[in-house]
Amino acid sequence: MQRLMLFVIAILANSAVHHCHGQSSAISGRVGFSGTSVTTATIDERLLFFPSKFPNGDWNPEGLVFQDVFFSAKDKTKLHGWYCPADNPRAVLLLAHGNAGHVASRAPWLRYLQNRAAVSVFIFDYRGYGRSKGVPTVEGAIQDAMAARAKLCEIAGIKDSDMFLMGESLGGAIVVQLAAKSAPRGLILQSTFSSLRDVANVHYPKLSWLVPRKKLDSLATVTAFRGPLLQSHGTADQTIPFSLGERLFRAANEPKQFVRIENADHNDWLSDEYLVQLDGFISRVSAAGQ
């Protein structure tokens, strides 16, 4: 609740700056495709992202085979990720994590995907996270994901259409942007939202109008993706309400599958039922693409 109140105060402050000076607080930064800053965070973005930095965390996890990968975004921001190749992989997957932690904090999930799901995974850190340089912004994160996808194509020797895209929470909104521009083999969304404005409508409806409608509007963007979709959401999610996940799913094109995870909160989505559905989805879509 305290975090939400700070977020509201920050948006009000940002709005006041815009009204008094006739310009965005991000005007000094480079501008992205939706007209917002790539390199300089707005006040609300400073409270949207919660990055953890290297060397915090376990950067040498046991039981995970990975390669450090350094690459650059279009604006030359230096980025970092882990490529986790599986033996005889049945699929190649790009993973965009949520807005907290970094690649190292996803080690248990990466071990599962590599060893149990037999999937080669490339996970990357947005700018400002882990070992990636720069300051987190929405446009910057999208640009980082685009660069990561291109790097994975280079590493694995594949095309955009050969890989799966997987996004957790905030990462779900990021990969929807990628999928709409160049369709992957399959799209996997976990505990994500219809739009940032919709999240604001839930938590502070009287002030939600201050959040730009086009900022991470997955509801409008997902309609451009035509391909297999697997989406999951916990029914007890207190961070991103279940209804927002359902709303996004309704807007998506067929073929699509929704996994309802009973009584699961935002970070409790790794149920046995979901893992079975995920395994089946990867198998079916991979076989169909051969």
pLDDT at position 208 over 90: no
Helix then strand then coil, % of the chain, to nearest 5: 40, 20, 40
What's residue 49's pLDDT? 83
What's residue 133's pLDDT? 97
What's residue 39's pLDDT? 66
- Please name the fold of domain 50-288: Rossmann fold (3.40.50)
Q: What's the mean per-residue pLDDT of the chain?
A: 87
Give the mean pLDDT of 98-125: 97
Token pair belonging to 22? 């006739």
What's residue 29's pLDDT? 41
CA atoms of 275 and 146, how far apart (whole Å): 27
Q: Are 184 and 113 in contact (CB under 8 A)?
A: no
What's residue 44's pLDDT? 59
pTM of the model: 0.87
Query: Bigger pLDDT: 272 or 289?
Result: 272
pLDDT (tens digit, 9 = 90+) per residue, 179-207?
Answer: 999 999 999 999 999 998 898 888 878 87
What's residue 48's pLDDT? 72
Domain ranges, ordered by start, for the chain: 50-288
Query: Bigger pLDDT: 39 or 173?
Result: 173
pLDDT at position 60 over 60: yes
SS3 187: strand
Token pair belonging to 157? 């020797």
pLDDT (tens digit, 9 = 90+) per residue, 213-249?
Answer: 898 999 999 999 999 999 999 999 999 999 999 999 9
